Chains A and B, each alone.
Chain A
Amino acid sequence: RKEVEQDPGPFNVPEGATVAFNCTYSNSASQSFFWYRQDCRKEPKLLMSVYSSGNEDGRFTAQLNRASQYISLLIRDSKLSDSATYLCVVIRGTSYGKLTFGQGTILTVHP
């Protein structure tokens, strides 16, 4: 079983739609959680950290459920520019700084 699993999609949604991505992680020692965005042939860029209390940044909302080892990302009012691959990333408590990436979920927002 992969340490971080995501639904690869692709998700094809119209502009203005709300879309949600899910991610599960297998190592209960994981302590830090992030969502990254990666555009085609580019490096990943940090979208937001994920906290147990849930956090929001504009149109983006991230949730963490430690009991279920589950992370989510909600994008509201999708824009064309949101089209990218979204990567769920965790850091295990015992592997300081080492990021473990999920395979990514592809999102395409169309007019």
Chain B
Amino acid sequence: GAVVSQHPSWVICKSGTSVKIECRSLDFQATTMFWYRQFPKQSLMLMATSNEGSKATYEQGVEKDKFLINHASLTLSTLTVTSAHPEDSSFYICSAARTSDNEQFFGPGTRLTVL
């Protein structure tokens, strides 16, 4: 149990396009999901906290208009990177906090490459 999926697992896109990444909790409900970004040889950095039915809260320095987050149900959060540029190329990982006990489970990550 406690599986989190992400889709797509990898994506290559042209500069200026938008990319949507989905994070799903497959067998549990998650009121809160978190989005992280990891650049090569660096650690995970929290980008934003996604709350079901309300607006996401963003960490300092993360542009909310560039990284759109929607958490429309207890099992799905989406992150849309708008007008992606090469500097947005990174490994994006979500985690879902199980509503019943708040334990967090990570998705497998999405590797984004912007050309």
Contact = CB atoms under 8 A, between A and B. Distances in A.
Contacts of B95: 99
Contacts of A43: 93, 106-109
5 contacts: A41-B111, A43-B106, A43-B107, A97-B102, A99-B44
A99 B104 contact: yes
Interface string B72-111: 0000000000000000000101010100001010111101
Interface in A35-84: 41-45
A87 B93 CA distance: 15
Contacts of A87: 43-44
Contacts of A103: 42-43
Interface of A: 41-45, 87, 97-104
Nearest to A45: B106
A97 B43 contact: no
Interface residues of B, number: 19
B102 A101 contact: no
Interface of B: 32, 34, 42-46, 49, 91, 93, 95, 97, 102, 104, 106-109, 111
B104 A97 contact: yes
A98 B34 contact: yes
Closest 5 CB pairs of A and B: A43-B106, A101-B43, A103-B43, A101-B44, A43-B109
B100 to A, nearest CB: 14
Contacts of B32: 97
A29 B29 CA distance: 29
Nearest to A43: B106
A41 B106 CA distance: 13
Contacts of A42: 108-109
B106 A44 contact: yes
A42 B38 CA distance: 11
B97 A97 contact: yes
B48 to A, nearest CB: 10
